Structure 1
Amino acid sequence: MKKILVTGATGQLGSELKVLSESYSQFEWFFADRTMVSLDNLSILQNQLEGIHPDIILNCGAYTAVDKAEAEAELADVINHQAIKIIAEHANKHQIKLIHISTDYVFDGTSAVALTEEAITEPINVYGATKRAGELAALAVNPDILIIRTSWVYSRFGNNFVKTMQRLLKERDTLGVVNDQIGSPTYAADLAEAMMDVLNNENWVPGIYNYSNEGEISWYEFVLAIQEITGDTCEVRGIPSSSYPTPAKRPAFSLLDKSKIKEVYGITVPGYKESLRKCMGLLRIETN
């Protein structure tokens, strides 16, 4: 029985993989939190990987606090770049399949068309720069790695945009939401399924792939879609990014082109509204 190591097991994607693992009993699953696979401690990481001895690694662990990363650039680089190189080297040495999760923040946001995997990367914040450095380092030491870039991730687990907006729509009379950053959300449960579809495919075609739900929207439009489901009467106003300054710059446009993962792996990508309804339906069940 092949053993799958999931790093970042307590995060949104790791938690969704844990739910999904019940449907994949042909594998032995090892869900590692930051104490079991310490991406922030390079001196013990290699030994931890040797001790777990996985056949497959799904690397969902990352430093994802985008604004905080501006002040903690060194730590973000250790976790998002240097640790990923060690994992990729380990996978290459032991001929282990490795799927590594990356981000739309590797782009500068100046494109006007959906970004393919070949689009030029030019990160505009520390988080994006460290994730891109991780991609490059991993590809350099392990040509057999498969990297999936994703965007605007949410789920019923952890803290995320959907859960925050759901709460604010109930608490406030008016809400200002950025309307000049364009992309597409990703329901972590859908991404988890896509990862398993890739893993169970007869062919393993390494390289970089994009995955997010279908749709081209702003954060403002995303909140309107959430409000459509909740029925809350809060007045939602679109505001420019300049009205909501953050320590880290965000790409103004980071819509991902999913053609490659659909063609190579035959993956069906759900629309963002369909997935949002699913997630919010589960949240409603959990809160009742």
Structure 2
Amino acid sequence: MVVLVTGASGQLGQSLQFIAPKYPEIQFVFASSSDLDITNPERVTSFFETNTIDFCINAAAYTAVDKAETEVEKAHLVNVVGPKNLAIACQKSGSTLVHISTDFVFDGEGNLPYSENHTTNPIGVYGQTKLEGEIEVAQNCDKHFIIRTSWVYSQFANNFMKTMLRLGSERDELNVVADQIGTPTNAVDLAEAIVTIIKSKNNEFGVYNFSNEGVCSWYDFAKEIFRINAINIQLNPIPTEAYPTPAKRPKYSVLDKSKIKNTFKIEIKSWQESLLQTKI
């Protein structure tokens, strides 16, 4: 089985490389943006015509939420045009596309975990482009899995956990937003879930949610990061209004994982347990 992974240098791409040796039955082909520019339809078509691809995991994304507010065209290229190109190529070659999306497709105004069929309503450019990317995937490729995830971190690339560890080594005091609620997702756990879906040979295509289990704020997340790494710092909870950003964030983005757990028999760790195992 040949599995192409786009966005190989990102968090999920590196996490898939990390777990790949556990699955010798899968031939992974890891492609960074320099290896395969998914925004170039000719390059994508040529790549699929010269390689036999059974599954394509699209881990490539424009994820700079604040920059997206001004870099609209760039975000659209990577998050909408790229997935469309991959979807068309997968449809033509008979490959299955696993596309990674985000909790930012929701507005965060709810107070119950979002299911896959909840009405989408993104509140920023990043979320809007990710939703448009989902639509392109669904319209252009019959065999697709769209996986929405949230608050992704890992020992790889740049993320909230690594930022907190860096700031914890530089400062004595830190303010962290305490009124945005969601669930951290360990990228390695997400990678394992994707491989489980691929190996299942289950053809129940569609949209699925995945994050770790549990609920917390960014403040709670930071507090636990510092606790398990034995970092002594004065941590202050603040409201969103006290930390203005160019892009609005969903205030509540907890995802209901019932569908992915029931369909693929996936057991999901709590965010605290997974964070503990990611201590670096």
| The two structures share one fold, judged by TM-score above 0.5 | yes
Match of 1:33, as an amino acid?
S
SS where residue 194 of structure 1 aligns? Answer: helix
Q: How does 1:58-69 map to 2 (within 5 A)?
A: 58-69=57-68
Task: Give yes or no for contact 1:40–1:75 (8 Å, CA) kept in 2.
Answer: no
Match of 1:59, as an amino acid?
N
Distance 1:143 1:240 in 2: 43
SS where residue 279 of structure 1 aligns? Answer: coil
> Aligned residue for 1:180?
179
SS where residue 22 of structure 1 aligns? Answer: helix
SS where residue 278 of structure 2 aligns? Answer: helix
Answer with 86-95 or 191-200: which moved more: 86-95
> How far 1:66 moved relative to its partner?
0.9
2:210 corresponds to 1:211: yes
Distance 1:256 1:3 in 2: 30
> How far 1:263 moved relative to its partner?
0.5
Q: Deviations over 1:28-76 (max 9, x none)?
A: 2110000121023344332233233312111100111111111111111
Q: How does 1:141-160 map to 2 (within 5 A)?
A: 141-160=140-159
Q: Structure 2 length as normaliser, TM-score?
A: 0.97
SS where residue 248 of structure 2 aligns? Answer: coil
2:125 corresponds to 1:140: no
Q: How does 1:13-24 map to 2 (within 5 A)?
A: 13-24=12-23
Q: Deviations over 1:203-246 (max 9, x none)?
A: 22100000000011000000111111022221101111111111
Match of 1:91, as an amino acid?
C
SS where residue 68 of structure 2 aligns? Answer: helix
Distance 2:259 2:99 in 1: 16
Answer with 201-210 or 35-44: which moved more: 35-44
Once the two structures are aligned, what percentage of the paired residues are identical?
A: 45
> Aligned residue for 2:234?
235
Distance 2:179 2:49 in 1: 46
Alignment coverage as a number of residue pairs: 280
Match of 2:60, as an amino acid?
G
SS where residue 39 of structure 1 aligns? Answer: coil
Task: Give yes or no for contact 1:154–1:186 (8 Å, CA) kept in 2.
Answer: yes
2:115 corresponds to 1:116: yes
Task: Give yes or no for contact 1:37–1:49 (8 Å, CA) kept in 2.
Answer: no
Match of 1:177, as an amino acid?
V
> Aligned residue for 1:201?
200
> Aligned residue for 2:160?
161
Distance 1:26 1:156 in 2: 25
> Aligned residue for 2:96?
97
Task: Give yes or no for contact 2:103–2:148 (8 Å, CA) kept in 1.
Answer: yes
SS where residue 277 of structure 2 aligns? Answer: helix
Answer with 227-236 or 50-59: which moved more: 50-59
Unaligned runs of at least 5 residues, structure 2: none
Distance 2:246 2:40 in 1: 26
Q: Deviations over 1:140-196 (max 9, x none)?
A: 112321010000001101111001101212221110000111000000000000001
Distance 1:76 1:56 in 2: 24
> Aligned residue for 2:27?
28
> Aligned residue for 1:7?
6
Match of 2:254, as an amino acid?
L
> How far 1:78 moved relative to its partner?
1.1
Match of 1:101, as an amino acid?
I
Distance 1:150 1:172 in 2: 31
2:189 corresponds to 1:190: yes
Task: Give yes or no for contact 2:38–2:85 (8 Å, CA) kept in 1.
Answer: no
Task: Give yes or no for contact 2:48–2:93 (8 Å, CA) kept in 1.
Answer: no
Match of 1:191, as an amino acid?
L
Distance 1:126 1:198 in 2: 29
Match of 2:16, as an amino acid?
L
> Aligned residue for 1:286?
none
